[in-house]
Amino acid sequence: MIEVKNIYKKFGRKKVLNGVSFTAEKGKITCLIGVNGVGKTTILNAIMNLTPINHGEITMGDEKISDRSFEKITFIPDAITMIPSMTIAESMQFMQDFYDSWNQKRATELLGFFKLKETEQISDLSKGNTAKVNLLLGLALDVDFLLMDEPFSGIDIFSREQIADVFSSHLVEDRGVIITTHEINDIEHLIDKVILLDDGVVLKAFNAEDVRENEGKSVVDVMREVYQA
Amino acid sequence: MKINFNKRDPVYVQVVRHFKEEIATGILEPGQEIPSRRELAAKLKINPNTAQRAYKEMEEAGLIYTEGNLPSKITKDEAVLGAVREALILQAVDTFMTTIRPINVPLDEVVDLIKEKYTTETNGEGGGMGD
Amino acid sequence: MSRYLKLVNFELSRFMKIYLVLIAITVISQITGIIVKSKGYLNEVHRTIYGDSISKAQYIEEYGTITFMDYATSSLWFLAPIALCIAALMFYVFFIWYRDWFGKNTFIYRLLLLPSARLNVLLAKATTILLLVFGLVSIQLILLPIENNIFKWIIPLDFRTDLPIHEMLEQSHELSVLIPRSFVEFIIHYGIGIMAVLVIFTAILFERSYRLKGILMAILFGLLAIVIFFLQDFVELLLQKNYLYPIEHLVVRGILGTIVIGLSIWVSNFLLNKKINV
């Protein structure tokens, strides 16, 4: 389990996170929702120790997250973070060189799943395919937790569908996923937990199936209530 | 297998309903193997946890059964199968009733209309049920 | 292979294209230079001899012979590529970090998320710079005898004085910095180099961690490093006394340098793990 406990973050005078707490469990898809600039990416960066927080604590299974955790938890940012002149094959080799948790079999499977050609250079890929390579490099790691920042933004509908299919496949099965998004159309029926954020705080956290079952509301219904209140 | 999910019912409930429909209409036969939860999730494009939950519900309701490590199968219990069929028919009739009632049509007229529609439509479709 | 070594290998490969271009420029420029300059010298000699109607012996008596180092230390053909390489590497000391922050989401994510101590990223970059320097110096060491042979091949024996390579190096201040004559000098020159690179890296990390405020901190850290490294000189200057023998002076300098290196690595490690911002 990943536990985010009461974290605060300021950029200069701008308060981005004002005491955010939530948990994300293994085997569940947790979705952080909020408009752009609400601090979703900052939360993921903070979890991965890519930006210092001013207050609060983040743990994974009772341990602080550090470089020792990175065989267990990985982050897929919203744009690819490989050197553009590298080919897909070279990027995969890079990952294999540095990660014990790299699963070459799954990587090959993902190449097929996304219909990608290994010999292509990253700088030559379409937006959609770049997003898929980005996802591939994270998904092929045998980690417990996957953090994904806006995996659906700025790409075509067919790529979005393909990426959404990842979440119903064995590729994320039994892993914990934290995903950020500002619109949930692509994955509304796929997510387990929903965390609604605004102004650097959690407005509401709930299980998607529970509100459907107990209140007969869709996730968007709840969002409407919370954000328009 | 493809479901158009609505957004206000629990996904697992919609999956169970879908299975019940296929059982009642005979698309799924008694004793037939059903997909694993992983296959089902991929096929319906749903979260594997939801597939798991749907199967758990169906198992508890006696709609499916599992022997050892073998794949789960549709029940052969006539009573359960009958009840599923009956529930499905009743539900359809209920829906029909709620729409027809406000129009205040005499029962005989309704029955005649149903008979007429039912036979032509069935013939028109060639009696096919599949897909 | 450890992740540190893999990182070194990776960092080297990222600079390899530019590096090979630098080497090519050096080789072409210096070899072209030696040919052009030697021929020019010979033409000059001939013109003087025929113009003034003097004999070879008289010419040599009047103008003396030339050595290879006369060419090397006076010719832009020779010195410019060295200056270019030095400038390029000094630039790369900064660029090796800042290039990782270019673009939207950048390679620094990848580096900081590797399942190995973040300090390895810094040490690999520092090692890379050091290896790049060694590489260029080696190329120069290989080039010198080749150029010397070309020189001998063009200039007739009477007009030149030959020196062994090690004596050539002693004559040139510029080259003797890059190619030290003793092990102690080697340690001193390259130790100071490594120290400077690490202090600059720490300064860069200050800037990357605190941005604008970080620039001020970087400058302060640089000043602190200078103060520590020259502590004995400041003390001696203040007290107007020289307490130490040269050898003791050297030892103290070594200790102070080691302190600066240790401090730099420690602060960098802290910044990389606690303060860095992607």
Q: Say what the pLDDT of residue C65 is.
A: 87
How near does any CA of chain C get to the CA of A226, in Å? 32
Q: Where are the alpha helices (H) located in B45-106, listed in sequence order?
A: 48-60, 78-100
Of A67, A78, A94, which has the smallest distance from its Cβ to C115's Cβ?
Answer: A67
Q: Where are the alpha helices (H) located in A27-149, listed in sequence order?
A: 40-47, 88-98, 104-113, 127-139
Q: Say what the pLDDT of residue C247 is.
A: 87
Separation of alpha carbons A221 and A227, rounded Å: 10
Among chain B residues, the shortest Cα distance to A177 is held by B47
- Using an 8 Å CB-CB cutoff, list chain A residues near C106: 81
Phi/psi at C128 (5° precision): -60, -50
Chains B and A are touching, with contact defined as 3 or more CB–CB pairs separated by less than 8 Å: yes
Q: What crossing angle do the helices spanning A157-167 and A127-139 adopt, rounded to 10°?
A: 10
Q: Say what the pLDDT of residue B128 is.
A: 44
Query: Of A122-131, B116-125, C107-116, which gets the smallest average pLDDT?
Result: B116-125
Arithmetic mean of pLDDT over chain C:
91
pLDDT in tens, A159-173: 999 999 999 988 888
Mutation site, C3, C11, C113, C116, interface A, largest A CB count within 10 A: C113
Q: Say what the pLDDT of residue C105 is.
A: 63
Separation of alpha carbons A174 and A194, rounded Å: 18
Residue ranges per structural domain of chain B: 1-131
Of A52, A74, A75, which has the smallest distance from its Cβ to C274's Cβ?
Answer: A52
Task: Find the mean pLDDT for residues A83-95.
Answer: 95
How near does any CA of chain C get to the CA of A112, in Å? 24
Q: Say what the pLDDT of residue B125 is.
A: 53
Question: By the CB < 8 Å criterion, does A27 face chain B?
Answer: yes
Tell me the CA end-to-end span of chain A in Å, nearest whole number.
Answer: 31
Q: What's the token pair of residue A33?
A: 């929702």
The dotted CATH code for A2-228 is 3.40.50.300
Contacts 24+ apart (CB under 8 A), C212-216: none
Task: Find, among A154, A146, A162, A191, the residue nearest to A31 by Cα.
Answer: A191
- Using an 8 Å CB-CB cutoff, list chain C residues near A77: 105, 109
CB C79 within 8 A of CB C175: no
CB C254 within 8 A of CB C246: no
Task: Find the mean pLDDT for residues A95-122.
Answer: 95
Task: Find the mean pLDDT for residues B67-92.
Answer: 90
**CB under 8 Å to B20, separation ≥6 — which residues?**
B63, B84, B87, B88
Question: By the CB < 8 Å criterion, does C276 face chain A?
Answer: yes
Among chain A residues, the shortest Cα distance to C276 is held by A51
> Is the pLDDT at C178 greater than 80, yes or no?
no
Q: Where are the alpha helices (H) located in chain C, listed in sequence order?
A: 3-51, 56-63, 68-74, 76-98, 107-112, 118-154, 165-171, 173-178, 183-229, 231-239, 246-270
> Is the pLDDT at B127 greater than 50, yes or no?
no
Confidence of residue C130 (pLDDT cuts 50, 70, 90): very high
Strand partners, C268: none
pLDDT in tens, C192-247: 999 999 999 999 999 999 999 999 999 999 999 999 999 988 888 888 877 778 88
On whether ipTM exceeds 0.90, the answer is: yes
> Is the pLDDT at A115 greater than 80, yes or no?
yes
Confidence of residue C52 (pLDDT cuts 50, 70, 90): confident
Name the burial class of residue B5, with classes exposed (0-12), middle (13-18) and buried (19+) by CB atoms within 10 angstroms of its CB.
middle
Class of domain B1-131: mainly alpha
pLDDT in tens, A141-157: 999 999 999 999 888 99
> Is the pLDDT at A227 greater than 80, yes or no?
yes
pLDDT in tens, A11-24: 888 999 999 999 99
Separation of alpha carbons A185 and A187, rounded Å: 6
Q: What crossing angle do the helices spanning A104-113 and A88-98 adopt, rounded to 10°?
A: 150
Separation of alpha carbons A180 and A147, rounded Å: 8
Question: By the CB < 8 Å criterion, does C113 face chain A?
Answer: yes
Residue ranges per structural domain of chain A: 2-228
Identity of the amino acid at C269: N
**CB under 8 Å to C247, separation ≥6 — which residues?**
none
A18 compared with B121, residue with greater pLDDT = A18
Of C6, C117, C278, which has the smallest distance from its Cβ to A97's Cβ?
Answer: C6
Query: Which CA distances in Å does C272 have to A73, C113, C115, C266?
Result: 19, 11, 14, 10
3-state secondary structure of A63: strand
> Is the pLDDT at A51 greater than 90, yes or no?
yes
Task: Find the mean pLDDT for residues A4-17.
Answer: 93
